[in-house]
């Protein structure tokens, strides 16, 4: 499944034994902290970081394709 993906994003694991992203070229690594055992405030910050990264990825894909995907409703 991962070999058929358009983009592959790793959220920070890169576990040498189980992370499938290690076997794919051009992986985008966001280095997202593990929310395990974090406070609710820290988890919210992680959530917001993920949202920001996703929106930036959508914008970059959309820009490279001259706005063909019309993702503008996701930007806010």
Specify the pLDDT at position 69: 61
3-class state of residue 29 by DSSP: strand
Q: How many whole angstroms separate alpha carbon 50 and alpha carbon 11?
A: 9
Q: How many whole angstroms separate alpha carbon 11 and alpha carbon 16?
A: 14
Beta strands in the chain (DSSP E): 9-10, 28-29
pLDDT < 70: residue spans in the chain = 1-3, 14-18, 20-23, 67-76
Its pTM surpasses 0.85: no
């Amino acid at each position: 499944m991962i070999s058929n993906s358009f983009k592959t994003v790793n959220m920070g694991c890169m576990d040498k034994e189980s992370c499938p992203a290690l076997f794919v070229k051009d992986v985008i690594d966001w280095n997202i902290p593990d929310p395990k055992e974090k406070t609710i405030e820290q988890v919210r910050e992680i959530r917001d970081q993920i949202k920001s990264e996703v929106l930036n990825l959508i914008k970059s894909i959309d820009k490279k394709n001259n706005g063909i995907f019309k993702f503008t409703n996701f930007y806010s």
